[in-house]
Amino acid sequence: MSRLRTVVSSTAIVAVLAFGFGSWFVMTPREEERKVLVKNMPESNPAKMEEMRKRNALMMQVLKEAAQSKDNIARDMGGPVK
């Protein structure tokens, strides 16, 4: 009885692992799908990249100004007052 339980348990574990690996294999994109994904990424479009660079530069400027000031800008933005 104990041997049968061990065999059934082992078979169930192997089946669950096989199902997991099979699901992983089915969900991963193939080579053609990967190429389409890379093609549609924002980094592949020069106009979007330039827009992101400008936005990042503005954010860095705001963060730099906030770091240099002594004001607590979080309190001025309507955050919770403690």
pLDDT digits (tens, 9 = 90+) for 29-68: 888 888 888 888 877 788 888 999 999 999 999 889 888 8
Position with higher pLDDT, 32 vs 74: 32
Percent of the chain residues topping a pLDDT of 70 = 87
Predicted confidence at residue 81, as pLDDT, reads 56
- pTM for this one? 0.43
Quick one: average pLDDT of 14-26? 94
DSSP 8-state symbol, 41 = S
Instruction: Output the six-digit token pair for 45.
Output: 């479009």
Is pLDDT of 79 > 60? Answer: no
Which helix (DSSP H) or strand (DSSP E) does residue 64 occupy? helix 46-68
Residues comprising the chain, all counted? 82
Tell me the C-alpha distance between 52 and 41, whole Å.
Answer: 13
CB 65 within 8 A of CB 58: no
